[in-house]
Amino acid sequence: MAKRRTLMRMITIQRVLVKYGLDEIIKQTHLLRPLRFLFYLAPRRRRSDAPVGERIRLALEELGPIFVKFGQAISTRRDLLPPDIADELAKLQDAVPPFPVDQAVAIVEGAYGESVDKVFERFDKEPLAAASIAQVHTAKLKAGHEVIVKVLRPGVQEQIERDLAVLRALAGLADRYWEHGKRLRPLEVVDEYEHTILDELDLMREAANTAQLKRNFQDSDMLYVPDVYWDYCRPEVLVQERIYGTPISDMKTLREAGTNIQMLAENGVEIFFTQVFRHNFFHADMHPGNIFVITTDPARPKYAAVDFGIVGTLSPEDQRYLAENFLAFFDRDYQRIAKLHLDSGWVPADTRVDQLETAVRTVCEPIFNKPLAEISFAQVLMRLFRVAQRFNVEIQPQMILLHKTLFNIEGLGRQLYPQLDLWKTAHPVLKRWMSEQLGGRAMLKDLRQNLPQLRDALQELPAILQHLGEQAAEGRIKLNLQSPELKEIRDQLTLQQRQRYWLTAAATAIVSGVLFMILGSNTEWGLGLLAVGGIAGFIARP
């Protein structure tokens, strides 16, 4: 039954593409070529004089939420799309047709178990905005707060699950038959996307994401996150503070208000890199429909963001790998980039570092002959993907959300301020983060975190050695003092003893240095002890 539904959905997609005269998409998609016979089952191609951008937008709207989100994601990349198509896809950000208000009211009343008039002082029937997953109504709480009420579209979960089945079927074909299928890991990519999109259907999760981001930027003068009214939130209904600001896409109004557009664009980049590296919790749906600007002080404009249904995180290893790649790129250290790819296990172990280094240099070096403001991260990444294909680099599904978000940020920034220097803005944030990760404070944090495990291991060590001795005395084990296993134990004990020594020395030196600095008795001694502590802590690292 499930396979039948998937096939029927594929036929529907085929018919919609034919209906809007988008046959070339099918003809150029290799995986769908075996399904070309379905053209004969489709209705006659609609003869329309509508521009191709409008036809693409209408087709995506008709195909449903997943396709609308795809259109939203690429709409910000005006440097990659023809202007007419970009203009049409931009309408998907806040101009998706709304669903009937009586359905919205029924969902809200079902969630609360009482009428909207008893819950709200005012509930505006006309939607403020409609998107692929939900639509928004303005309202006023009994306590007097102006709010927005976000309501899930009826039947949206069934639609998304149906389209995920189609994506999974296509990914299975790619994994099995496409020459690059194993390297690009399409099934894992769909798994990652499925996790992301299904999370977006739980508005309680979105409320929690909003609260977390608000804490992260509590005292920020760059980003404002609205309050959540938890007593009114349900899985299908979200109530939060109403934001009054200028849509980021309304450049005319922003300029008329005297907004510092350059600062706005650069702040957007800094906010993103701060979220990724300092907070490790980033807003991953930053298309223009979700971003507003507060221009109370036009010289220091402030972002206001909404719609936190999709957020991203990275493992510490991925964070470190990504930051080091960025910094190596800034420094034109192509050998470092090649080694990072090899050390991460993302390229085959037998890859020659010098060959990968040369390939990366060939892509990156010509870019540095241009002013940095003219460098497009998207174009660099596309060229690096071709290098990745040559060296069989495995695509990491957990990075896809980050790449998509960075594309959106860069596209948004260039829309605001075409001279945006992405690298110059991001570089200080990354340097600061790397310094925090490798500095004395980070070492003290590692020491504090690892001391309990070290203490427990030391407490258990005598019992383990006694047990081994008893077994040897009873003849149950034969002790081979030259065995590789015993040598490994000795080496580990020696390593642990050395690490304990250096960690103790590092902690003592750092604490002493801090005391010298605070008491002001001898600043030079304080700096010297801090340096010694840093060196000792570095030696102690495994």
Q: How is 372-400 classified by DSSP, letter by letter?
A: GGG--HHHHHHHHHHHHHHTTPPP-HHHH
CB 10 within 8 A of CB 29: no
Phi and psi angles of residue 58, each rounded to the nearest 5 degrees, phi first: -65, -40
Candidate list 285, 307, 421, 456, residue with the active-site label: 285
Q: Which amino acid is at 542?
A: P
Closest CA to 54 of 26, 5, 89, 22: 89
Exposure b/e, 439-453, CB count within 10 A at least 16 = b: ebeebbeebeeeeee
Contacts of 505 (CB under 8 A, 6+ apart): 532, 533, 536
For CA atoms 500, 503, 504, 505, the dihedral sign is positive
Q: Considering only CA atoms, give the Rg of the chain.
A: 28
Closest CA to 271 of 261, 257, 281: 281
**Helix (H, G, I), strand (E, B), or coil: what is residue 135?**
strand
Q: How far apart are the C-alpha atoms of 188 and 171, rounded to whole Å?
A: 9
Q: What is the dihedral of CA 169, 175, 180, 183, to 10 degrees?
A: 120
Closest CA to 392 of 341, 435, 324: 341
* Three-class secondary structure assignment of 498-534: HHHHHHHHHHHHHHHHHHHHHHCCCHHHHHHHHHHHH
CB 251 within 8 A of CB 244: no
Residue 343 catalytic?
Answer: no
Chain-centre distance for alpha carbon 422: 17
Element (H, E) at 43: none
CB 193 within 8 A of CB 271: no
Q: How far apart are the C-alpha atoms of 88 and 244, rounded to whole Å?
A: 25
CB 267 within 8 A of CB 277: no
Q: How far apart are the C-alpha atoms of 32 and 16, rounded to whole Å?
A: 14
Closest CA to 242 of 95, 417, 122: 122
- Residue count of the chain, please give it: 542
Q: 133: which 2 tokens? A: 């997953």
- The runs of H, that is alpha helices, within 391-520 are 397-416, 422-438, 440-473, 484-519
Closest CA to 290 of 87, 107, 150: 150
State the catalytic residues.
Answer: 285
